[in-house]
Amino acid sequence: MTKPANAASVHGVTSAQLAALIDISAVQAFHTENDVRQLAEIAVGNGFIAAHALPNFVPLLRDLIPVEGLTLVGGPIGFPSGGTATKIKVAEANFLEDAGAQELDMMMNVGRLKSGDLSYVADEIAAVIEAVAPVPVKVILELYHLSDAEIRTATDIVCRSGAAFVKTGTGWTPSATTVEKIAIISEVAAGRAAIKASGGVRDLDTVAQMISLGVTRFGINTTVAVELVRQVEALPDGILSLPA
């Protein structure tokens, strides 16, 4: 499969390049089969890099999105609490891989992290990564529940685990994904893992600042994602400028 390159330059991004940085999803408890069908249509039609659905809908999503297209299919693990047992997360990861998911977003065990049981957190991430390698795994920190010190600790654990991305949130909590929090993650990650900003990203100024800090993937509400791409199209020369 040919995947869209992250063509964002130090100067700016076009609407197509922005779409190639955005995941859209239908992963709330109330999302229906019709929502998943609409998600697939919007993702493919707008050139979004990925579409994610709750695990039971991933086989359907896989059927709806062309395998050789530009849009990847993804699903979550241990979502949204992160509190399921490690062997359940591994089994869920295996199910999603078998269902055709091309990337997985795993919810970290926040309670274990906050309890200081860092080896449990690290071992669990490693177990999931090993179970589905080479399928890329993004690990969700859920920033809303973490102090800045805990964000630093969690980011380092994720980076040392070999995960593809550090992801900020599920979208199931009040937003805590700010430019300031991204700056902390970027400093600690230092290029060891990519960064996905998810939850509460709603405007182009925030997107531009986060890209300048190293974010290469966004999880954005579907309606907002389409609107942001349209806004870039309407900018002078059709380019979103990035901070120097």
Catalytic residue of the set 89, 138, 167, 181? 167
**Superfamily of domain 12-241 in the CATH hierarchy:** Aldolase class I (3.20.20.70)
Q: Where are the domains of the chain?
A: 12-241
SS3 94: helix
pLDDT at 3: 36
- Number of CB atoms found within 10 A of residue 47's CB: 18
Are 159 and 192 contacting, i.e. CB atoms less than 8 angstroms apart? yes
Q: Has residue 1 got a pLDDT over 50?
A: no
Active site residue 196: yes
Name the residue with higher pLDDT: 96 or 174. Answer: 96
Predicted confidence band at 10 (pLDDT cuts at 50, 70, 90)?
low
Q: Has residue 239 got a pLDDT over 60?
A: yes
Catalytic residue of the set 23, 105, 138, 181? 105
Q: Measuring CA to CA, which residue among 131, 133, 111, 129 is closest to residue 120?
A: 111
Per-residue pLDDT of 20-49, as tens digits, reads: 999 999 999 999 999 999 999 999 999 999
pLDDT at 11: 75
Q: Has residue 202 got a pLDDT over 50?
A: yes
Share above pLDDT 70 across residues of the chain, in percent, rounded to a whole number: 96
Active site residue 167: yes
User: What's the whole-number mean pLDDT along residues 72-96?
Assistant: 98
Which of 5-9, 64-68, 111-115, 147-151 bottoms out in mean pLDDT, i.e. has the lowest?
5-9
Are 136 and 165 contacting, i.e. CB atoms less than 8 angstroms apart? yes
Question: What's this model's pTM, rounded to 2 decimal places?
Answer: 0.93
As a whole number of angstroms, the distance between CA 146 and CA 161 comes to 19
As a whole number of angstroms, the distance between CA 29 and CA 110 comes to 20
Predicted confidence band at 7 (pLDDT cuts at 50, 70, 90)?
very low
